[in-house]
Structure 1
Amino acid sequence: MTNPLDRVPPHLVISDFLPAADHVALIDWTLANQARFEPSGLGRERALDTGFRNSLSLRGEGPRPWVAPLTATMMPLVPGWCAALGIAPFTLDQLEFDMVAYNDGAFYRRHVDTGVGGGRTPRPGSAAFRMITAVYYFHREPKRFQGGALRLHSLAHDISYGDVPPTQNSLAVFPAWARHEVMPVACPSRDFADSRFAINCWVRRTPPAAVA
């Protein structure tokens, strides 16, 4: 019998996730805001470690007009995602978003989206309250990059994995505890506009009430 820990984590792939007009508008907005992208960091401190994570993330306090429509689209889908992924129902707190660009040589080593344990009670806002990760993929046409698959790893023994390609206008959904990585990207032009773009969304549960 196969050890359940050797199985690829449950996941969903939803094609044609956004209406065509919204998808095109998102690409146009992203390219117009290139100046707001900075090297991606790690953790709350956004520490730079380009040997572990090499990409660009949208930063700054400027507007993000795509957050509201994405939130409205995703919120009603969360109960169905929980059922499909085998996640017990929870009280939804909020959706957290991050836009990322992967250009030539970019990658993200194996990690989980719930942070690392430390024996302490997680504080509100901690990654520990992330329950589901959803990644939306988009790029300019014609596509001018290769690679960049999302690789989902089994929990034990490293004998199994599954690759999800960053297909145009698709959404990959998986448990936030699942170990995963972004495989290296090749983008010969090195033009920002030719990058593999993604919007990471984390569905967060409501933290338990503070104990007096």
Structure 2
Amino acid sequence: MLFNSEYNIQFDEIFSQALDLVNSSLNQPEIPYNERLNAALKVLEIGILSSQQKQLNSLLPEVIPSSDISPDPFLQHQETEAIILNPDYVQLDNFLSEEDYQKLLKMTLANQDKFFPSEVINDQSKYRESYILLPQHFVEFHELLTHQILSARPNVMQQLQMSMFLVSHLEMQITAHLHGGYYKIHQDVDAGKAANRRLTYVYYFYQEPKPFYGGDLRLYETKIQDNQSLIQERFNQIEPRNNSIIFFDSRCKHEVLPVYCPSQQFTDGRFTINGWIHG
């Protein structure tokens, strides 16, 4: 058993050592920007959690006994209550300045040869048709978008009536849906690496005048019960407005409807910077 004061002293020492190590690495250019950003977010999260833990410890007895209470087998076998997720979303127009939007579009088109076909982790073929560009090819915009997205998050979550959470890290990629591109009904969370995705975001950008049609995102009312997610009758259909971003609960099922591009050229595709905020 550890006394609370001993616990706090040991934790402070470990946290201080970890903070020194992370601080020394944040300004090293040889470490990829994404890794430095995630390290900084993790340190911030640990600092907040440690403060909360100290407050909790101050309310507990000086010695914390171990618990020998076993879970109630009746409660273990009860069915969980169903959760109904409304197909709610927040869409913000003019998310980037005109200058940044143009730079992003130009950079994306210049990196056409670095896009690769997207994949899904299931056994179904022809479930998704799109192309991906990884963050190392758009570091400048990764930093800009990360700042913009995290700044918008508190207001977005309030509008979505979602509980606030500590951010562990943020995923980001550029996705190109070209002529015939689509993504069938899916959910952004799973039992693996995507288990902690909490908030999905999609930033739309493309050439003007709009060179394609279709490509709407259909967001479904979703019923969650006993680790199963089922779409319901209601849905919202969201137009991919240029230089706008949408946010929604990552547990909501959704799909990208087919894109039709008469020129069938890469430069005329439907582009997004999309990703997920993890809790």
TM interval, shorter chain, is 0.7 to 0.9
Deviations 1:33-74 (A, max 9, x none): 00011111124xxx7965100011114854532100111111
Residue 179 (structure 1) aligned to one of 236, 250, 253: 253
Does the alignment pair 1:194 with 2:272? no
TM-score, length-scaled by structure 1: 0.83
Deviations 1:141-175 (A, max 9, x none): 12110000010011146311111000100001100
The alpha-carbon distance between structure 1 residues 184 and 50, as it changes in their structure 2 partners (threshold 3 A), is farther
> What does residue 105 of structure 1 align with?
180
Unaligned runs of 5+ in 2: 1-82, 224-230
> What does residue 164 of structure 1 align with?
238
User: Contact conserved, 2:135 with 2:172, CA < 8 A, in 1?
Assistant: no
The alpha-carbon distance between structure 1 residues 130 and 190, as it changes in their structure 2 partners (threshold 3 A), is same
Residue 130 (structure 1) aligned to one of 192, 197, 203: 197
Does the alignment pair 1:12 with 2:90? yes
The alpha-carbon distance between structure 1 residues 78 and 100, as it changes in their structure 2 partners (threshold 3 A), is same
Residue 72 (structure 1) aligned to one of 144, 147, 152: 147
The alpha-carbon distance between structure 1 residues 58 and 173, as it changes in their structure 2 partners (threshold 3 A), is same
1:11 & 1:143 partners in 2: Cα distance?
Answer: 23
- Which fold has the larger relative contact order, with Cα–Cα distance below 8 Å and residues 6 or more apart in sequence? 1
Give the residue type in structure 2 aligned to 1:82.
Answer: M
Deviations 1:52-97 (A, max 9, x none): 0001111485453210011111112222222111221111112210
1:49 & 1:147 partners in 2: Cα distance?
Answer: 23
> What does residue 32 of structure 1 align with?
110
Give the residue type in structure 1 aligned to 2:244.
Answer: S
> What does residue 216 of structure 2 align with?
149
Q: How many residue pairs get matched?
A: 191
TM-score, length-scaled by structure 2: 0.64
Q: 1:183: how far off?
A: 0.4
More helix by share: 2
Give the residue type in structure 2 aligned to 1:150.
Answer: L
2:161 & 2:252 partners in 1: Cα distance?
Answer: 13
Unaligned runs of 5+ in 1: 206-212
Percent identity between the aligned chains?
A: 34
Does the alignment pair 1:95 with 2:170? yes
User: Contact conserved, 1:136 with 1:200, CA < 8 A, in 2?
Assistant: yes
Give the residue type in structure 1 aligned to 2:234.
Answer: S
**Structure 2 counterpart SS, 1:203:** strand
